[in-house]
Each structure stands twice: as structure tokens, then as C-alpha cells.
């Protein structure tokens, strides 16, 4: 079942869509930024909020939120993650994208998909379809790009996000959901959550989190999550995880790639995807002024996506879309409680 609510008193085009399955799981999505604002589970102790988000558009546009801007729950594009110095070379032509993160391009620029009003359509009782047209020159990206994101909440307690896009010119593309999870409902931070990632390698980064093009094996390192462990086990050694894990999804339609568990709530979530990478961000730099609930380590982001800076790396694929192809991926979050 999908209900429609107002999300802004000033802009009637911005709505809140409430998806509820037959088990009482509820996901709330707004067509502003295609943001997943809420995901609640019906526990015996009461409904439990497990993602970071707000109840009104004003909170997403507030100065205190945008100051450190953690992109709570938003769909990111045209290019999630970083592009080195915002520079891309396509068919012999140099393209300069906005450098909104120091000297680098991050998450689509100053006004990415996370700040757009998407067209919304209820596809059926369990699926919400969101569409966006990004015109040629949008944030200096080439080509007219049509993007569709479908949120589905089914009775298997899976929240599924389907991504698709086409473009009439060669353009960089990397879409993701920037949702942060916290299974304690905000009562505690995420450091006691247990995480397992089916990955033997991460991308090597320089000091500014730009990939070098090399792959690093995780065995005997703090990045080894092949066996489930608490996030705080090695957090002092790394200070904060913000790394792209190389997944074993190449050539596969869908693969389970990660699992998160929190003992006190007994909530477990399996993540399956056909994206090639998983960006793990443990949220040390979340800081919403005046809101104690949203501080350092208050949420865990597990962003299924392509590789950062892929258009500039010969070793990486999936960084560009061509006029004759359809960009198509999906991610499934299966919840056990």
C-alpha cells in the first residue's frame, strides 16, 4: 500500500510517499532528492526507525544540515563519490566538472540529483517510480540524461531500489543511495553494529580519498570484513572507514554482498546487488548542529555503486554511459527482525 502526504507547505509538487507492506514495515520517500526519509520495523517493543532522516523538507534545506551535508537517504548523481579534480576526458575532449569538495568533484556537484524535484508515479501497490531529466550541461555534464529510480517494498521485507538511465551523449555516471542505517533507533551509535562484506580487495586511495588505480588485498588488514566483526574492532586504527570495497558481482545479475547485525535489537539486514563496488562510510563526520541524534558515527552508509573516479582509471569499468546503452542496476535490502 502507498499513501501520499504533503512534505512541504510552500511547494505542493513535493510529496511524501508512504510504502507499507503486509508485515507492517514502512518506508517513506520524498520526491525531493528521491530521498528515503524513514524506514521503520514493527518490533515487539514498538516501531523502530532504522535510517537517518527528517520529517519535513525544511530540515533538509536548513543551514545546520547543509553545513556539513551528509546526504541523508538521497539518490546521488550524475556521479556518486569522487572524480579527481573534476576532470574527465571523453573522446579527446577535456570536460571540467564542478569542484565542490576541495579541488575534487563529489556526488554530482553543487546541485546534484539529491537536490532536485523528481517526477513521481505510483507504479503499483508496492512500487514508487521516480523520474528525472538531467539536461545537457547540467552541472557541466554532457548529454541529456533520463534517470528512473524505482523503490519497491515487498512482503519478503525487502526494500529494493532499481536504477536505470539513458543518455544521448557519452557521459560519466555513477548512481547510488546515500542511506545511513542505525538499528538502535538512534539510542546508540553504530560502532557496536556487526558487519560482514564479501570482498577480498579494496581500492587504494591517496590522502584525499582519490583512487590510485591499484587494488589492495584485505587479508591481515583492518579492512577485512569477510568474517563478521564489530565496526569498533579496528576503528581506532583507521579513525573512520570511507573505502570502496571491490565486490564479486562481475557478470552476475544479483549477489549477496554484505550483512549488518545489531545484537540488542536483533535486527539483521542482508544487502544484495549487481553493482561492482560498495562504499563503506562509518559517519565520523556527521554533524548536524543542534541535533544530538545526528553526530559522529550516528549512521552507517553502505553505498552500492560503481568505482570512484572510474572515467580516469584504465583499470576500472562502469564509469561512462554511451548513447546506445541502458545503465541498469539494483540493490536489495532484506530485513530480518
Instruction: Report the catalytic residues.
Output: 178, 303
Query: Among 323, 273, 250, 48, which residue's Cα sits nearest to residue 160?
Result: 273
Dihedral sign for Cα 302, 110, 145, 149, please.
positive
- C-alpha cell recorded at residue 160: 529494493
Given its phi and psi angles, is residue 107 left (phi above 0), alpha (psi -120 to 50 degrees) or beta?
Answer: left
| Residue 40, strand partner residues | 26, 49
Query: Among 41, 314, 295, which residue's Cα sits nearest to residue 183?
Result: 41
| b/e sequence 73-107, b meaning 16+ C-beta within 10 Å | bbbbbbbbbbbbbbbbeeeeeebebbbbeeebbbb
Distance CA 104, CA 109 (A): 9
- C-alpha cell recorded at residue 184: 538502535
**Residue 26: enclosing H or E segment and its boundaries?**
strand 26-30
295, 284 Cβ separation under 8 angstroms:
no
Query: Among 142, 254, 151, 244, which residue's Cα sits nearest to residue 202?
Result: 244
Amino acid at each position: 500500500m502507498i499513501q501520499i502526504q504533503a512534505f512541504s507547505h510552500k511547494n505542493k509538487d513535493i510529496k511524501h510517499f508512504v510504502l507499507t507492506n503486509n508485515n507492517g514495515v514502512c518506508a517513506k520517500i520524498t520526491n525531493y532528492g528521491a530521498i528515503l526519509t524513514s524506514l521503520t520495523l514493527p518490533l515487539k517493543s514498538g516501531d523502530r526507525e532504522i535510517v537517518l532522516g527528517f520529517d519535513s523538507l525544511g530540515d533538509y534545506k536548513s543551514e545546520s544540515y547543509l553545513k556539513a551535508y551528509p546526504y541523508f537517504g538521497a539518490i546521488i548523481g550524475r556521479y556518486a563519490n569522487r572524480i579527481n579534480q573534476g576532470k574527465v576526458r571523453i573522446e579527446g575532449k577535456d570536460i571540467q566538472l564542478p569542484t565542490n569538495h576541495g579541488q575534487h568533484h563529489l556526488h554530482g556537484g553543487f546541485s546534484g540529483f539529491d537536490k532536485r524535484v523528481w517526477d513521481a508515479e505510483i507504479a503499483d501497490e508496492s512500487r514508487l517510480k521516480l523520474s528525472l531529466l538531467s539536461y545537457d550541461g547540467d552541472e557541466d555534464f554532457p548529454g541529456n540524461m533520463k534517470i528512473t529510480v524505482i523503490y519497491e517494498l515487498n512482503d519478503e521485507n525487502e526494500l529494493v531500489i532499481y536504477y536505470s538511465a539513458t543518455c544521448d551523449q557519452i557521459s560519466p555516471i555513477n548512481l547510488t543511495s546515500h542511506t545511513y542505517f542505525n538499528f538502535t533507533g538512534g539510542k546508540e551509535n553504530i560502532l557496536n553494529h556487526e558487519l560482514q562484506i564479501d570482498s577480498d580487495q579494496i581500492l587504494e586511495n591517496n590522502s584525499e580519498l582519490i583512487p590510485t588505480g591499484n587494488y589492495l588485498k584485505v587479508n591481515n588488514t583492518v579492512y577485512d570484513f569477510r568474517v563478521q566483526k564489530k565496526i569498533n574492532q579496528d576503528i581506532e586504527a583507521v579513525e573512520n572507514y570511507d573505502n570502496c570495497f571491490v565486490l564479486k558481482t562481475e557478470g552476475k545479475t544479483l549477489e549477496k554482498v554484505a550483512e549488518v547485525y545489531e545484537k540488542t535489537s536483533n535486527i539483521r539486514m542482508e544487502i544484495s546487488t549487481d553493482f561492482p563496488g560498495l562504499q563503506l562510510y562509518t559517519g565520523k563526520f556527521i554533524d548536524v548542529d543542534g541535533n544530538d541524534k545526528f553526530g559522529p558515527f550516528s549512521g552507517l552508509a553502505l553505498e552500492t555503486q560503481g568505482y570512484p573516479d572510474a572515467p580516469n582509471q584504465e583499470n576500472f569499468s562502469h564509469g561512462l554511459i554511451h548513447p546506445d546503452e541502458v545503465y541498469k542496476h539494483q540493490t536489495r535490502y532484506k530485513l530480518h527482525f
